Amino acid sequence: MIISTTGTADGNGTFLVYHGPYREIIPRMAACGYKGVEMHIEDSVCILRDELWELLRAYGMRLTSIGTGAIYGKRHYNLVDSDSSIRQAAIGHLRHHMITAQPDHGLVIIGLITGRMQDCTCREEFFWNLEESLYQLDQLAESYDVQLGFELTNRYEREYLIRIADGVEYLRSHNYKRILLHLDTVHMNIEEADIRQAILGAKGYVGHVHIADNDRWYPGHGHYPFLETLQALKDIGYEGTLALETNCLPSEEISAIRSLENMRTMLGQLK
């Protein structure tokens, strides 16, 4: 499993570790010992992709994943909206993130940009629009040779597809080639009755994992059962990214250092 830190050049993003221009934060991530990064990008059209890629190469870092949720708050782009032009705007927007992710065949996150019940008229429309949008995104992901991670979020952020078992059933009943589930320890902590069993039931369906303690601080700060989660992920053969979607408290440096130390220690304790 690859440990990634998180960063953004967009000036927002409460639950991210590094904030600032790429030329400043990528060297700091590498100096701390990270080899992977999940960048949260508001709009891939507005970034200097070449500069980002030059810096990643120069510092031996891999762009494992791209966080995409900011645009739901900013422009309300989403995949389930009753207005098809909004759905198409969201798909076009995610296509540009796929281009950013392409050199490392990274994973583009479909989390908050999924949208909510309030964006359409009824449950049937939610699932109908979601299915159609995800098929379009799946084809695009295949053509760009990147992955998509459908993030299961908690009940306060979405009405449907919040538990792992529901996500597995959804993917089983669709024939997506590039979409897997994206788990997040904060959401699992709220929604799963038995985290180990839930993960064991998702064998073959997990594509990405967000790591943060129950209070969104670095792992080890709170009471989330990381060893159980990491052992279950190992037991299902998960070899993907563990991306630290934590806040930067008490400071960027302490959050980044403790996250890496604690994750390495726990990964070393797995059977």
Under rule CB under 6 A, residue 111 binds ligand LER: yes
Q: Considering the complex, what minimum distance in angstroms separates the CB of residue 210 from Mn ion?
A: 4
| Residue entry with tokens 């563990």 | 242
Please choose, from the candidates 191, 166, 193, 160, the residue with its C-alpha nearest in 3D space to the C-alpha of residue 181.
166
Tokens describing residue 98: 């796929």
Under rule CB under 6 A, residue 69 binds ligand LER: yes
Pick the stretch among 130-138, 164-172, 178-186, 200-208 that binds Mn ion (CB under 5 A): 178-186
Nearer to Mn ion, 140 or 149 (CB): 149
Please give the residues from 29 up to 48 whose contact with ligand LER meets the rule CB under 6 A.
none
Under rule CB under 6 A, residue 149 binds ligand LER: no
Among 3, 8, 9, 15, binds ligand LER (CB under 6 A): 15
Q: Considering the complex, what minimum distance in angstroms separates the CB of residue 14 from ligand LER?
A: 8
Residue 256: half-sphere exposure toward Cβ, Cα within 13 Å = 23
**Are β-strands 62-67 and 147-151 bridged in parallel, bridged antiparallel, or unpaired?**
unpaired
Q: Which amino acid is at 114?
A: T
At 41 the three-state DSSP class reads: coil
Nearer to ligand LER, 81 or 245 (CB): 245
Q: Considering the complex, what minimum distance in angstroms separates the CB of residue 15 from Mn ion?
A: 7
Please choose, from the candidates 106, 102, 80, the residue with its C-alpha nearest in 3D space to the C-alpha of residue 91.
80
Tokens describing residue 92: 């076009």
Helices and strands of the chain, counted as H and E runs: 10, 9
Nearer to ligand LER, 62 or 158 (CB): 158
Please give the residues from 199 up to 258 whose contact with ligand LER meets the rule CB under 6 A.
210, 245
Pick the stretch among 19-27, 84-92, 149-157, 246-254 that binds ligand LER (CB under 6 A): 149-157
| Partner that binds at residue 252, options ligand LER, Mn ion, none, CB closer than 5 to 8 Å by kind | none
Which string of x and - marks every residue 201-230 that binds Mn ion (by CB under 5 A)?
Answer: ---------x--------------------
Please give the residues from 167 up to 186 whose contact with ligand LER meets the rule CB under 6 A.
184
126 and 70 Cβ atoms separated by less than 8 Å: no
| Interatomic CA distance for residues 110 and 134, integer angstroms | 9
Q: Which amino acid is at 264?
A: R
Q: What are phi and psi of 2, to 5 degrees?
A: -105, 130
| Interatomic CA distance for residues 18 and 245, integer angstroms | 10
Interaction site with ligand LER (CB under 6 A): 15, 69, 111-112, 151, 153, 157, 184, 210, 245
Interaction site with Mn ion (CB under 5 A): 184, 210, 245
